[in-house]
Structure 1
Amino acid sequence: MRTILYLFISLLLIFSIITPVFAQEENQSLELAADAKSAMLMEQDTGKIIFEKNANEKLPPASMVKIMTLLIVMEEIDKGNLKKNEMVRISENASSMGGSQVFLEAGEEMSVEDLIKSVAIASGNDASVALAERISGSEQNFVNRMNEKAIELQLKNTQFKNATGLPAKGQYSTAHDMAIIAKALLQYDDITTYTSIYEDYLRKGKKNEFWLVNTNKLVRFYPGVDGLKTGYTSEAKYCLTATAKKNDMRMITVVMGADTVKKRNHATSEMLDYAFNHYETEQLFDKGEVIKTVPLLKAEKEHIQIVTEHNVRTIYKKEKPYENIKTYIEIDQDLSLPLKKGEQVGVLTVKANNQELSKTPLIVASDIKEASFITLLKRTLGNMSKAR
């Protein structure tokens, strides 16, 4: 009996050691991003991690910090708090930023759209601070907002100290966290209209015209790459969070700590090559597609539309497509009014053969206000008349 017990315990120990190895076997067998300190390969819609290397190692992110800066800018535009054609007056503080810059002058006025281009294409530190000051009043207040957003995205290994990525003690992130921020930014479809531009001009036709040229050369030299953000400092070395789309499948890559631009671009390219050569996706629902219409008696409109927050897809190895795909919808039972556009009210779960593939937030398609007393009275009387 004792011998059988020892054997059972030994088997448990063996399985406890072997099981995680099996789970990571595919990832570990890939020889990608050899010249990077840290790397990540993720599919955009599903969030599936295809490859990672030291993905949770805290490293200086350099100008990849601007992905979070741009995320907050796009959020403010989406909320209507910021307009692309709004003119922003440049402060002395913003104009004094060193490093990568577009040479904004104190007192100059520039549109929000041109400032976004300056950040997305030329990595302008001055443009980043100008946008931060416009949104939050000061760069420090904006940085507080950045760190709050990091908490909201459940990033455990990221801390921001500025809106630019200039060297700062205590500023760090990881390949994993940068991929998550990029995933959030890419929910705003028009961001790639800026990050995909290879060259453009500020103040075109004027004496102080300035040539913008993309710091991410893969936008020009790798088919499908349309973003996202480079980074370099002597401490961080060469970094790049990139994204590419092919056959409706979008990939996100992160490379941190490469010794040269060539090594950084090579690591990015080989991860993208691997993803597009070996994986496919299947679209189940479009972003914003109505999943369910829910009656809500106390709402201004009696029926509210529940939609997907982003595209719902499955991703699979080309030789192993999923079968028996099923979707499950869960809507919160106690919805309290008012509800803001984009507020999560449920979850859409995708499963295949009882294996969970993804969870997608379900949100309200528009602001939902509480019904007035008169509206509720009319609705009640109408329902009473129908009951007769």
Structure 2
Amino acid sequence: MKCIRSLILVLASASALGFLALLSDTAEALETQAREAFLIDAGTGAVLLDKNSEVSMPPASMSKIMTAFMVFERLKDGSLSLDDKLPVSEKAWRMGGSKMFVEVGDQIRVEDLLRGVIVQSGNDACIVLAEALAGSEEAFAEQMTAKAREIGMTNSTFANATGWPDPNQRMTARDLATLAKRIITDHPEYYHYYSEKEFVWSDIRQGNRNPLLYKNIGSDGLKTGHTEEAGYGLTASAFQNGRRLVLVVNGLGSQKERSAESERLMSWGFREFGNYALFEAGETVDEAPVWLGAEKTVPLVVAEDLIVTLPRSVRNGMKVSVVYDSPIPAPVPSGLEIARLRVSWPEGVPIEVPLMAGQDVEQLGPFGRIGASIKFLLLGTP
């Protein structure tokens, strides 16, 4: 028999819990001038805004986030260090577009090249790194595509390390958000480069083009992009009051529009949504009756801390229920998924997460099972 039990909860602050479980797909409707836009809560995975997030688009210099990620991976596995010096080829020196202004024959530290890529958006610095790490920019682009597939960026392909216009240089807004989250979580020791507002090389001072770094909204990364085909884009992250949001926009008409729209969307995400703690890992959510068990009930527990991201306006309309087939037949091993926790709210897509048996429940012996069966036949209860 299907059993659905409603629960009454007192919502706690999200900051009370250390681990945030991947949860909701709320995707509120909000008009935006961006051709593509994707806004997520990085902690819970909740989608706050989705406009064409799966559409293949030219990422322009936002491609350089992947270039830097490839370098971070090499730093992490120890095959490269920040102090290693890499040679500048004529191809790198001749590369057009935004530049770090390296010179042919120079030997440049990896850390300086990274800052040239991240802060100055230097195409020349990208090529120096690509050629040193893979032998050629083309080979490096193939490695970028392979790594993208490995980390779940299934709709991204790379033809170069810079984002230079090419029909095979394509990403989606969702993939860019995935990449931003991976850099923040996998390589926190290098993420600080994205918040640097300027970098000087060859006596040339260049400022970071990320407009959100200069606004008081907690932004600390990541990267702008612009080509005629792509329009003006930005992959950004900001942190406020224990919450981190990641925003991707592309296809905007000007630098001014990119600045204003990205600030508006990021501020909207922090203002209109909140994170609410429901249960801690291992906490008993409910008790389910057990059929022919040594215990009459088994506790239903969540495996991880459970936090949901909801529009603040619907917080009081949230409903939480437990769904399972009752009674649960014994034996019941601890950790077995035996129920679902369902969270719903007005006009939202319900969330469901598994509930596990919180302890072992052994089956009754032969005489116990006979007695329980007789009781059920006479009284209709387990």
Q: TM-score range by the shorter chain?
A: 0.5 to 0.7
Deviations 1:290-313 (Å, cap 9, x if unpaired)?
Answer: xxxxxxxxxxxxxxxxxxxxx996
Alignment correspondent of 1:227: 221
Alignment correspondent of 1:290: none
Quote the RMSD (CA, aligned, Å): 3.2
**What is the 5 A alignment of 1:294-373?**
314-318=308-312, 320=315, 353=342
Deviations 1:62-104 (Å, cap 9, x if unpaired)?
Answer: 0010111111111111111111122222122222211011110
SS at match of 1:178: helix
What is the distance in 2 between the residues matched to 1:325 and 1:120? 47
SS at match of 1:226: strand
Is 1:274 paired with 2:268?
Answer: yes
Task: List gaps (5 residues or longer) in structure 2.
Answer: 1-23, 280-304, 323-339, 344-349, 355-382
Give the TM-score normalised by structure 2. 0.67
Q: Which amino acid aligns with 2:189?
A: D
Maintained 8 Å contact 1:118/1:212: no
Query: Whose RCO is larger (CA < 8 A, sep 6+)?
Result: 2
Alignment correspondent of 1:69: 67
What is the distance in 2 between the residues matched to 1:83 and 1:283? 40
Alignment correspondent of 1:292: none
What is the distance in 2 between the residues matched to 1:85 and 1:110? 9
Alignment correspondent of 2:29: 29
What is the distance in 1 between the residues matched to 2:220 and 2:277? 21
**What is the 5 A alignment of 1:8-157?**
27=27, 29-31=29-31, 33=32, 35-157=33-155
Task: List gaps (5 residues or longer) in structure 1.
Answer: 1-22, 203-207, 286-310, 327-350, 360-388
Maintained 8 Å contact 1:323/1:352: no
What is the distance in 1 between the residues matched to 2:129 and 2:306? 32
Q: Which amino acid aligns with 1:267?
A: E
Is 1:246 paired with 2:240?
Answer: yes
Alignment correspondent of 1:262: 256
**What is the 5 A alignment of 1:172-251?**
172-187=170-185, 188-202=187-201, 208-251=202-245
Q: Taking structure 1 as reference, are residues 81 and 315 closer, same or farther at Cα in structure 2, changes over 3 Å only? A: farther
Q: Which amino acid aligns with 2:220?
A: D
SS at match of 2:121: coil
Q: Taking structure 1 as reference, are residues 43 and 138 closer, same or farther at Cα in structure 2, changes over 3 Å only? A: same
SS at match of 2:175: helix
Q: Which amino acid aligns with 2:53?
A: A
Q: Taking structure 1 as reference, are residues 91 and 312 closer, same or farther at Cα in structure 2, changes over 3 Å only? A: farther
Q: Which amino acid aligns with 1:133?
A: E
Q: Give the C-alpha shift of residue 255 in structure 1.
A: 0.7
Q: Give the C-alpha shift of residue 164 in structure 1.
A: 0.1
What is the distance in 1 between the residues matched to 2:34 and 2:244? 22
Maintained 8 Å contact 2:224/2:235: yes
Q: Taking structure 1 as reference, are residues 124 and 185 closer, same or farther at Cα in structure 2, changes over 3 Å only? A: same
What is the distance in 1 between the residues matched to 2:119 and 2:307? 30
Q: Give the C-alpha shift of residue 325 in structure 1.
A: 12
Maintained 8 Å contact 2:83/2:110: yes
The structure carrying a bigger helix percent of its residues is: 1
Counting matched residue pairs gives 284
Q: Give the C-alpha shift of residue 275 in structure 1.
A: 1.1
What is the distance in 2 between the residues matched to 1:357 and 1:80? 41
Deviations 1:239-261 (Å, cap 9, x if unpaired)?
Answer: 11111111121111111111111
Maintained 8 Å contact 1:314/1:357: no
Q: Give the C-alpha shift of residue 284 in structure 1.
A: 10
Q: Which amino acid aligns with 1:66?
A: K
Q: Give the C-alpha shift of residue 41 in structure 1.
A: 0.3
Q: Taking structure 1 as reference, are residues 56 and 353 closer, same or farther at Cα in structure 2, changes over 3 Å only? A: closer
Maintained 8 Å contact 1:60/1:171: yes
What is the distance in 2 between the residues matched to 1:278 and 1:358? 24
SS at match of 2:169: coil
Q: Taking structure 1 as reference, are residues 74 and 358 closer, same or farther at Cα in structure 2, changes over 3 Å only? A: farther
Q: Which amino acid aligns with 1:60?
A: P
What is the distance in 2 between the residues matched to 1:283 and 1:86? 45
Alignment correspondent of 2:168: 170
Maintained 8 Å contact 2:116/2:199: no
SS at match of 2:248: strand
Q: Give the C-alpha shift of residue 134 in structure 1.
A: 2.0
Q: Give the C-alpha shift of residue 283 in structure 1.
A: 8.1
Maintained 8 Å contact 2:28/2:48: no
Q: Give the C-alpha shift of residue 315 in structure 1.
A: 3.0
What is the distance in 2 between the residues matched to 1:76 and 1:48? 30
Q: Which amino acid aligns with 2:167?
A: K
| Structure number with bigger Rg | 2
Q: Taking structure 1 as reference, are residues 282 and 81 closer, same or farther at Cα in structure 2, changes over 3 Å only? A: farther
What is the distance in 2 between the residues matched to 1:42 and 1:173? 17
Q: Which amino acid aligns with 1:57?
A: V
Q: Which amino acid aligns with 1:30?
A: L
Q: Which amino acid aligns with 1:132?
A: A
Q: Give the C-alpha shift of residue 323 in structure 1.
A: 9.0
Q: Taking structure 1 as reference, are residues 265 and 352 closer, same or farther at Cα in structure 2, changes over 3 Å only? A: farther
